[in-house]
Structure 1
């Protein structure tokens, strides 16, 4: 049965409730996330109540009308930061993702400019340069795994764009420690350390959480060193995001504290590179798994002089955009938008939801609705050329006041990296069986990482 928030009357008309034991729902959500979601949606429809160990009872929705109501409602109706504590060990308490109210709004305003307009366009050449640098090591006949290769590209991009770091000992250390920290949660069962605070115990350097804590401390030292040094160089700010944040001031003329800077930088490092790397690995998989997609994409790329084209021109290519969109539709990197916790009762789809209830829009289920996406299991980029989907039907970056700030940057990077690779290499997919997503921390990545081989080099 549901455990209601304190002082809640139970005369509400509530959505159907998943009846399996909490432990069973939790285990399936961790180990068989897709099967679990598909089964619940088939049994209960596009709004139901689910229970996970360590988390409050949640209303899960996948109806675009309900998602629109959620994303367009007054932000004061919800609290979201406290619903995202699962990522606090990674990003810190001052992360934008964990803030609410006026502080969330102020911080969002500070962080928005670097990810839009002319400022972002300046990163186009940087992205292409780094993609060329990493892939230039590939040799004809050599096989490789896409995800770690794409992670190397996206991590170099984010370290350069965010910190202005391109080389040196500190750059190398940050890169190494960040990858090691993420690898702590690279298996579906290892994610339990993030989901259950009771397991987050430092039992020494060789214990899983102890190892994670020590790596985080090493990374903190490096980031705080960089912050301190850069504060003394304030007279010559660079074009990177860290320089912009160091010079930013809130409405009272106050700069961000070292702790606030650290947490926002950590948020960008974690949220801004691994997600893009996974999306790129999926894109390379689908492009080579469906031959006609690769042919159409190459035709479009060949219609442009890639070597001299402006990066923004490449990013506007329609079929390239459709391929990236379909990649993010079929297996979104995160399966849920950021949860909202009701601060007052709300009516949704004919149901009465009490104060204290958590609402989560399920991106995966929304993207697999056959009434919106016919043959949802089929990778078909053309659907994004045939019609425009609303921001409540296509939601890979969430929505409302919680939509991912880095959305435009991530899509820009995806398009430029794919163009760079496909313009220089002919690749062959070595996977024989279809690839399914597996959990890696709080994100979902292609099982095995996508094995490819270099057939030819142009």
Structure 2
């Protein structure tokens, strides 16, 4: 076997480097090793590719290379995180069947119907920021994306049950990002279940509460049997599996868990970077405002999402700081050649999305924020891959950029915000995602006069 160049940095040190300076770490690896590298995990080769031709080569090969679901033995991605029958644990025909069921909520007329609601939620939450007061953009945007995700997935807008599931998800997300819980994922011997007295035990408690809530919702909605509802939960309780049988309550529960988490987390990071760049670069902001103002008062959401420069700005944010930074894994089933290297069965393959988006031969001056590049050129699905590629691309990818456009347009059209810190925003790295370390501190300067 001829492996691609093997990274010599020990795994523990690599993890520390990624945590301290994620983009700098990946830039240095690319500079030293090039388009394809190998990281050894014990005896298992893990290969990362950031060459568009190489990515196309392995993503379109479904004979020797197959989808690789998250292994339940990985302590950082337990069955409890996403459900035993959640979409990230399914493979083959089951995954092929379930994926369209989940995607229905994020496309077509459903997505159009969500447009007005996204604008309403954004307006309600941004209007609560006091004039002259500093706030953390990530926290404010997190409220918006979580509320939208809960509405799209479960169909809850207000009331006691809505407040409860919102509180549980926010508590779980906050806890997973705490230093103590992060330590338990790195040191298995600290994974002690002492209930609320231990980080691991409290996390298990929160997950149990979320899954119990979702299970109760599934059972209650089955009793109602309301065919007029248009949320993901309704789609799933009336759906059948590949054998023609209705999905079990347990499976519906598991399938619901990750779309709320996934729709909220990555979307919040991307929106935070979006607000940062638009307020960091005055020329970009002024051009966007000119384009938005051309639509007049109270524009239709579908007119907003069709704006070309707004689309280019959102794409540039997803290019320069993609979330996630890597695709899910594929696995080599039989000997195969990729980019001139021979890979043996068991080799894991990932697309390095960030380094692909940083290629100077595809994106000249890649460190510069230049939305114009998306107006001047159409990039292939192997050059611009913010939501992954193939059968494991993000189910909510198109909805995510739809939401980004409407949230930004609503805020920018009606309110004057400014960054508190003028220096570049530092990046953090968690769970394969690049986020703004400070959360982006901003100040509200009141409503914008047209």
Report TM bin, short chain.
over 0.9
Structure 1, gaps ≥5 residues long: 1-11
The more displaced of 96-105 and 416-425 is 96-105
Aligned to 1:5: none
Alignment of 1:373-384 (within 5 A): 373-384=363-374
Are residues 235 and 20 of structure 1, via their aligned partners in 2, closer, same or farther at CA, if it must alter by over 3 Å? Answer: closer
Alignment of 1:341-380 (within 5 A): 341-380=331-370
Are residues 47 and 260 of structure 1, via their aligned partners in 2, closer, same or farther at CA, if it must alter by over 3 Å? Answer: same
Count how many residue pairs are aligned between Structure 1 and Structure 2.
445
CA contact 2:104–2:232 (8 Å) conserved in 1: no
Are residues 261 and 192 of structure 1, via their aligned partners in 2, closer, same or farther at CA, if it must alter by over 3 Å? Answer: farther
Deviations 1:328-350 (A, max 9, x none): 11111211011111111111110
Aligned to 1:414: 404
The more displaced of 233-242 and 154-163 is 233-242
Aligned to 1:46: 35
Q: Distance in 2 between matches of 1:109 and 1:326?
A: 28
* TM-score in terms of structure 2 length: 0.94
Are residues 439 and 184 of structure 1, via their aligned partners in 2, closer, same or farther at CA, if it must alter by over 3 Å? Answer: farther
Residue 276, structure 1, aligned to residue 267, structure 2: yes
Return the match for 2:11 from 22, 31, 34. Answer: 22
Alignment of 1:75-94 (within 5 A): 77-82=65-70, 85=74, 86-88=76-78, 89-94=80-85
Q: CA deviation at 1:199?
A: 4.7
Return the match for 2:57 from 69, 78, 82. Answer: 69
Q: CA deviation at 1:153?
A: 0.4
CA contact 2:105–2:153 (8 Å) conserved in 1: no
Residue 240, structure 1, aligned to residue 234, structure 2: no
Return the match for 2:249 from 239, 258, 274. Answer: 258
Aligned to 1:153: 144
Residue 106, structure 1, aligned to residue 94, structure 2: no
SS of 1:138's equivalent in the other structure is coil
Aligned to 1:211: 202
Residue 319, structure 1, aligned to residue 309, structure 2: yes
SS of 1:448's equivalent in the other structure is coil
Q: CA deviation at 1:177?
A: 1.3
Q: Distance in 2 between matches of 1:82 and 1:333?
A: 18
Deviations 1:22-50 (A, max 9, x none): 32223323443223212211111110111
Q: Distance in 2 between matches of 1:374 and 1:139?
A: 41
Are residues 247 and 299 of structure 1, via their aligned partners in 2, closer, same or farther at CA, if it must alter by over 3 Å? Answer: same
Q: Distance in 2 between matches of 1:14 and 1:296?
A: 48
Aligned to 2:128: 137
Q: CA deviation at 1:189?
A: 7.7
Residue 35, structure 1, aligned to residue 24, structure 2: yes
Q: CA deviation at 1:82?
A: 3.5
Q: Distance in 2 between matches of 1:52 and 1:276?
A: 30
SS of 2:418's equivalent in the other structure is strand
Deviations 1:39-76 (A, max 9, x none): 211111110111458x9531111001111112211167
Are residues 110 and 434 of structure 1, via their aligned partners in 2, closer, same or farther at CA, if it must alter by over 3 Å? Answer: same
SS of 2:206's equivalent in the other structure is helix
SS of 1:268's equivalent in the other structure is helix
SS of 1:454's equivalent in the other structure is strand
CA contact 2:64–2:336 (8 Å) conserved in 1: no
Alignment of 1:435-450 (within 5 A): 435-450=425-440
Q: Distance in 2 between matches of 1:177 and 1:60?
A: 35
Q: Distance in 2 between matches of 1:99 and 1:31?
A: 33
Q: Distance in 2 between matches of 1:75 and 1:316?
A: 38
Are residues 75 and 414 of structure 1, via their aligned partners in 2, closer, same or farther at CA, if it must alter by over 3 Å? Answer: farther
* TM-score in terms of structure 1 length: 0.92
Q: Distance in 2 between matches of 1:166 and 1:389?
A: 38
Aligned to 2:376: 386
CA contact 2:105–2:152 (8 Å) conserved in 1: no
Are residues 75 and 187 of structure 1, via their aligned partners in 2, closer, same or farther at CA, if it must alter by over 3 Å? Answer: farther
Q: Distance in 2 between matches of 1:237 and 1:254?
A: 22
Aligned to 1:231: 222
Are residues 440 and 29 of structure 1, via their aligned partners in 2, closer, same or farther at CA, if it must alter by over 3 Å? Answer: closer
Q: Distance in 1 between matches of 2:435 and 2:308?
A: 26
RMSD, aligned α-carbons: 1.9
Q: CA deviation at 1:444?
A: 2.1
CA contact 1:188–1:438 (8 Å) conserved in 2: no
Deviations 1:434-457 (A, max 9, x none): 112212344221011001111231
Structure 2, gaps ≥5 residues long: none
Q: Distance in 2 between matches of 1:420 and 1:205?
A: 40
Q: Distance in 2 between matches of 1:82 and 1:176?
A: 27
